Structure 1
Amino acid sequence: MTAREHDEEREERIKMEIIVDAYTPEEQAMGWHIYLEETIDFPFEARCIKEKGVSPLDEGETVRVIGKPPGEPSLRQQLVTVELMNREFGVPLDQLKPIDASSDTEQAIEDWHYWLDR
């Protein structure tokens, strides 16, 4: 995990928009799930920025992100569905960096990366 410089604007957005009124980890995870689902504009292109054992992506690989798969949200992992070589599968959002996405999508993903790095 990398150390992140404190970002007051981002902290305020997380506190007031994403996990507002969330008192348990499960409620916070649901807040993140809803925020990401409602804020990210699918589809978009992204690059894998780190390899993970639960994902077949290699660092530097480019994929098309097409949505969020169904499943239980978690405070440590949010999944997105990607298309690669005529297949669709879920990968952790924290291993992706948008390369052709809306500013809202970029901000939402950076918010998630920031949260995990805290």
Structure 2
Amino acid sequence: MATTPHDDEREQRISNEIIVDAYNSDEERMGWYCYLEDNLSLPFVAIWDEQTVEVVGISDEDECRKEMRVDIRYSEKNRQDVFSVSLSEINPVDTDETTNEAIADWKYWVGRGYEFSEGEEDVFF
């Protein structure tokens, strides 16, 4: 069920720029992956799980089979780890407009209840 109100401008961008010509879920994932790769200014600081983290990259395609994910650098007690988290759980801090818009587009997609379409699966990338 959609929890996010309909936004015509965002719908047009998603349809005409991100998943244009996508005929199955793998093509939709690839569209999103490429869009995020082109529009996220990495690295950037974000809030995740009430912690300040550094987003250092988009997770590899295997991690993004069901949702878009990013790799974060997380520091705790003199130890740093890098691991994958859902992009929808990330809140950017002082990032550029393009990065903010790309993350907002993904959160909109999730908030509207959209999922990668079912259909004949191809090998992703």
Same fold? TM cut 0.5: yes
Equivalent residue for 2:53, pick from 59, 63, 66: 63
Partner of residue 84, structure 2: 90
Deviations 1:46-89 (A, max 9, x none): 112xxxxxxxxxx3111110111222333x41111111112211
- Higher radius of gyration, 1 or 2: 2
Is the partner of 1:100 in helix, strand or coil? coil
Partner of residue 46, structure 1: 46
Gapped regions of structure 2 (runs ≥ 5)? 113-125
Equivalent residue for 1:102, pick from 83, 92, 96: 96
Gapped regions of structure 1 (runs ≥ 5)? 49-58
Could you tell me how far apart the structure 2 residues matched to 1:79 and 1:101 are?
18
Q: Stretches of 4+ moved more than 3 A in 1?
A: none
Is the partner of 2:11 in helix, strand or coil? helix
Could you tell me how far apart the structure 2 residues matched to 1:2 and 1:43 are?
31
Deviations 1:66-117 (A, max 9, x none): 111222333x411111111122111111111111211100000000000011
* More RCO (CA 8 Å, sep 6+): 2
Deviations 1:16-71 (A, max 9, x none): 000000011111111001101111000111112xxxxxxxxxx3111110111222
- 1:111 matched to 2:105? The reply is yes
Q: CA RMSD in A?
A: 1.4
Partner of residue 77, structure 1: 67
Q: Rate the CA distance shift 1:2–1:100 in 2: closer, same or farther, 3 A.
A: farther
